[in-house]
Amino acid sequence: MVTLAVTVTMRAVSGARAASAVGEGSVAMRARDLEGYLAQAPMGATIGVKFYAPWCGHCKLMAPAWEEFAREGTEGGYVALSVDASGDEAKEVNAKFNIKGFPTLFFFSGGEVFEYSGARTAEAFRAFARGARDGAHSRKYAVDSNTNKIVFHAPSVTYRLRELVRDVARDFTRVFSAKPAVCVSIFLFGLWLGMFSVVATFFLAGDYAAAKNWREFMHRNAEKIKASSKLENDPKAA
């Protein structure tokens, strides 16, 4: 493993000006050179890749831990890369690896890419690099010898669903942060529309008693919510 790590590092530093030393440990690499580097690396090597942006505050906070992790790479049997994924030239790589935020960490090992979502400490990075990857999401890949590009295997249904849920959650968080009043208004309108639909269904079915009971039920609950809120705000009212 040590020999593999040294071999990969030497290729990174010397190969077509693809990389240059950064800090004291990790290897800096342009986004456009990443796939060619991974294609040349031995499949048995473990390669940690940090996708970052120079302006990213979270990336700057994590940098010391990543450099500490990288310094022990030769002894630990792994290599750590730092890939600047900002700018137009990184768009293709970001799309391929589904980079949606910074920093994003991946570990490549044995024809699989593992997504890292643990603690941002050197100790946690080391454990993950050495195989402590229980529960980590991964995708298998191969190397196209004609193009020297990474080719991912078809993702599983679980992976697709997870990405869909994560994208929806990320989009909702972004919209809610920008326009919270609009989001709350839409939620309340949806709630009102749902209640109206239930009452309308009862009326259309001719069950007027049920419709009346439903309206009374909603009214009573609304009064209870108001009373509860009043008690929380003014305990003396009890």
Structure confidence by residue, pLDDT tens digits, 8-42: 444 444 433 343 444 458 899 999 999 999 988 88
Interatomic CA distance for residues 160 and 93, integer angstroms = 19
Whether omega for the bond prior to residue 103 falls within 30 degrees of 0, making it cis, is: yes
Question: How far is residue 208's CA from residue 156's CA, in Å, rounded to a whole number?
Answer: 49
Phi and psi at 82, nearest 5°, equal -125, 110
Structure tokens at 2: 């040590």
- End-to-end Cα, the chain, rounded Å: 70
Residue 86 has pLDDT above 70, yes or no: yes
Strands of the sheet with 78-84, listed across from one edge: 19-21, 27-30, 78-84, 46-52, 104-109, 112-116, 138-144, 149-152
**What is residue 47's three-state secondary structure?**
strand
DSSP structure class, residue 155: P
pLDDT of residue 235 exceeding 60 = no
Say if CB 51 and CB 83 are below 8 A apart.
Answer: yes
- Chain centroid to CA 100: 7
Residue pLDDT, tens place only, 147-165: 878 887 665 556 556 556 6
Indicate whether 5 pLDDT > 60. no
Cβ–Cβ < 8 Å for 15, 29: no
In the prediction, which pLDDT does 127 show?
93
Q: Check residue 222 and give left, alpha or beta (phi > 0: left; psi -120 to 50: alpha).
A: alpha
> What's residue 146's pLDDT?
84
pLDDT of residue 144 exceeding 50, the answer is yes
Q: Which alpha helices (H) appear in the chain, and where do they start and end?
A: 2-14, 34-40, 57-71, 73-76, 91-96, 122-129, 157-178, 180-204, 208-233
Residue 16 has what pLDDT? Answer: 32
For residues 50 and 66, the answer to whether their CB atoms sit within 8 Å is yes
- Phi, psi angles (nearest 5°) of residue 96: -65, -40
**pLDDT value at residue 54:** 94
How many Å apart are CA 92 and CA 141, to the nearest integer? Answer: 17
Q: What is the pLDDT of residue 76?
A: 77
Query: What is the per-residue pLDDT for 137?
Result: 86
pLDDT digits (tens, 9 = 90+) for 182-205: 777 787 777 777 777 766 775 666
Q: In what helix (H) or strand (E) does residue 114 lie, and over which residues does it extend? A: strand 112-116
